[in-house]
Amino acid sequence: MLKIYASERPVTVVPWWILVTLSLALSGQVIYRALLGPTNRVEATALPVAPVADNLRLLTLGEPAVLSKLTMLWLQSFDNQPGISIPFDDLDYGRVIAWLASATALDPWAQYPLFVASHLYSRVNNLRKQRLMVDFIYQQFLQDPNKRWRWLAHAVVIAQHRLHDLPLATKLANSLRRQAAGGNVPHWAQQMEIGLMEEQSEYQSAAILIGGLLQNGQITDPHELHFLNLRLKELKNKLPAADLNSMGSSAR
Amino acid sequence: MRAGCHSLMQSSIQQVQTLALSTLYEAYSGKMIVAVVGVLGVGFTLALFLGDVAITETAQMQQALLAGFLRMSLVFVLVVFVVNGCVREIQDRSILLTLSLPVSRTTVFFGKFCAYTLVALIIVIFACIELSIFAPLAHIIPWGVTLWLESTLVIAFGLVCAFSLGQVPLAITTVVGFYLLSRSMSAVLLIAHHPIIHSDSVGQSVLVYLADAVALMLPALDQFARAELILYGAGPEFHLSSLLLQGAIYALLLVSIALFDLYRKNF
């Protein structure tokens, strides 16, 4: 302890009424927070309109990447409200996309906005909203194809298996092949267009995509790995047994 | 007997008043007024600048950002003033002079606490006057009341830290940390309770319990002086009585802690 005071006097010098008040106030605080605290009062609220990135940049105090991360955490709190839940389907996707775009503009190296766009927000049971997310991913990919190719690869899978829009999937895969020509883009990603011609289940496509990313050493974050493995498991559970058997035999 | 109690009470109140006046004089003679005027001036300029650059919702932009700026800055100015004043008295031993007078430590504490809360009230009134240029008065009043409550809690915590830590940087850092954590605790709880990647690990469970425990010990400052009050007024979800209750309970808790600590100190 700091040597500011000579020593401390015993507790007995403290008047009794201070000890009583302290105990009462402490109990009162715990009771107040337990009964009326924010955990019980948090209510799902509508997502506000996103400011454009340039306006948001004013608040960054020269640290746009920090604000980008904070924006993503904040955005996360809107869809992570089970019990007081806003299901993804109830979110205004125009606004979600605007927030994601602002976060990406603040930190163009960030993968978080595109990750949530392709793996979380695209899982909504609403074709129009899925299409909006795919379009957002495509637009972001076009701005930096060599860094954002993996999200477009996932968008190809979404377009093929969830939107059942083969022309769109082909367009995206074609764009992936032609625009993402950097050395870090693996061969299998550039050849996704060919894979579209083959009859594959969503699980098979996702397994190829995730397996390819893992083999390539592109995914290193343990949380992301865990998340993707859970996602694969989910897809596998949805797959009919016959398809699994055929996959097993084709693997052999 | 009754008359004795009454005169004792009156003499205590007079002592509190005298000590409070000396603290108020310190605020007047120090650089605090300059800091407050500076904050108000910068806030006003910021609001004008935003009014110039915003292409839509100009008034709302000015109101929200001015309210947010004033809230943060004025609380910070108060923290620095409270902590600096108390620690200086401890370090230059002038507190010994006060304690050598026939006054109880409770009186010394309340003299300071009352003076600082009065200073906070004056500052909040000035902030409200400035805001009234940009927002309707009916929206400003609940904001001002809750800002004053928030300032009172921060002042009490500042006194606790100043007396127990005895060093300006350490005490200010602690108060600022307490303030920011109290304001963001709801978001921390939300994220802790509903992570995207659910895990049954012991670590995550412990973190959730820890977050809950910390939240129980902190005041719900995220409900005080929100910019939404200025923008949209006090809606049906705003309960001033609940915030007054929270303010009273937490102020009592902090005052008790400060007195407990003050009585045990050997200066």
CB contact under 8 A, A4 and B194: no
Q: How far apart are CA A59 and CA A200, in angstroms?
A: 47
Lowest mean pLDDT among A122-131, A178-187, B29-38, B48-57: B48-57
Q: Cβ A80–B90 below 8 Å, yes or no? A: no
pLDDT for A234: 75
pLDDT above 50 (res A252): no
Dihedral, CA atoms, B4, B263, A6, A1, nearest 10 degrees? -170
Q: Do B249 and A43 touch (CB under 8 A)?
A: no
Q: Does A61 touch chain B (CB under 8 A)?
A: no
From the list A11, A29, A43, which residue is nearest B249 (CB)?
A29
Average pLDDT for chain A: 77
pLDDT at A84 over 50: no
Contact present, B38 and B130 (Cβ < 8 Å): no
What is the span of the domain harbouring residue B217? 2-264
C-alpha–C-alpha distance, residues B54 and A249, integer Å: 63
User: How are the residues of chain B apportioned to helix, strand and coil, as percentages rounded to the nearest 5?
Assistant: 85, 0, 15
In a mutagenesis test of the B interface, which of A21, A31, A223, A230 is the best target, namely the one with the most B β-carbons within 10 Å? A21
Q: How many CB atoms lie within 10 A of CB B9?
A: 10
Residue A85 backbone dihedrals phi, psi, to 5 degrees:
-70, 140
pLDDT score for A138: 95
Q: Is A36 on the interface with B (CB under 8 A)?
A: yes
Please tell me the predicted confidence (pLDDT) of residue A76: 72
Q: How many domains does chain B have?
A: 1
Strands B265-266 and A7-8: antiparallel
What angle do the packed helices B202-217 and B168-193 form, to 10 degrees? Answer: 120
Task: Indicate left, alpha or beta for A91 from its phi (over 0: left) and psi (-120 to 50: alpha).
Answer: beta
Q: What is the pLDDT of residue A221?
A: 72
pLDDT value, residue B19: 81
Flag whether pLDDT at A206 surpasses 90.
Answer: no
Pairwise CA distance, residues B64 & B26, whole Å: 33
Dump pLDDT digits (tens) for A229-249: 777 777 777 666 555 555 444
Q: What is the DSSP string of A136-204?
A: HHHHHHHHSHHHHHHHHHHHHHHHHHTS--HHHHHHHHHHHHHH--STTS-HHHHTHHHHTTS---HHH
> How much is the average pLDDT of A145-159?
90
What's the pTM? 0.66
Residue with tokens 């809750």: B146
How would you label A133-145 residue by residue, b for 16+ Cβ within 10 Å and e otherwise? bbebbbebbeeeb
CB distance B216–A37 less than 8 Å? yes
Give percent of chain B with pLDDT exceeding 70: 93
How many C-beta atoms surround the C-beta of residue B2 within 10 A? 6
| Contact yes or no for B220/B182 (Cβ under 8 A) | yes
How sure is the predictor about A40, in pLDDT bands with cuts at 50, 70 and 90? very low
> Which 3 state secondary structure label does DSSP give B196?
coil
More confident residue, B159 or A7: B159
Instruction: Kindly provide the ipTM of the predicted complex, given to two decimals.
Output: 0.73
pLDDT tens for the 267 residues of chain B, in order: 566 667 767 777 888 888 888 888 877 777 788 899 999 999 999 888 877 766 556 787 788 888 989 999 999 999 999 999 899 888 888 888 888 888 889 999 999 999 999 999 999 999 999 999 999 999 999 999 999 999 999 999 999 999 999 899 999 999 999 998 898 887 777 777 766 666 677 777 888 888 889 989 999 888 888 888 888 888 777 888 889 999 999 999 999 999 999 998 887
Q: Tens digit of pLDDT for each residue in A27-39?
A: 998 888 888 755 4
Cβ–Cβ gap B189/A38 under 8 Å: yes
Tokens of B63: 């109101």
> Chain B closest CA to A186's CA: distance in Å?
28
Q: Is the dihedral of CA B237, B239, B243, B245 positive or negative?
A: negative
Query: What is the b/e burial string over A222-245, where b = at least 16 CB atoms within 10 angstroms of the residue's CB?
Result: eebeebbeeebeebeeeeeeeeee
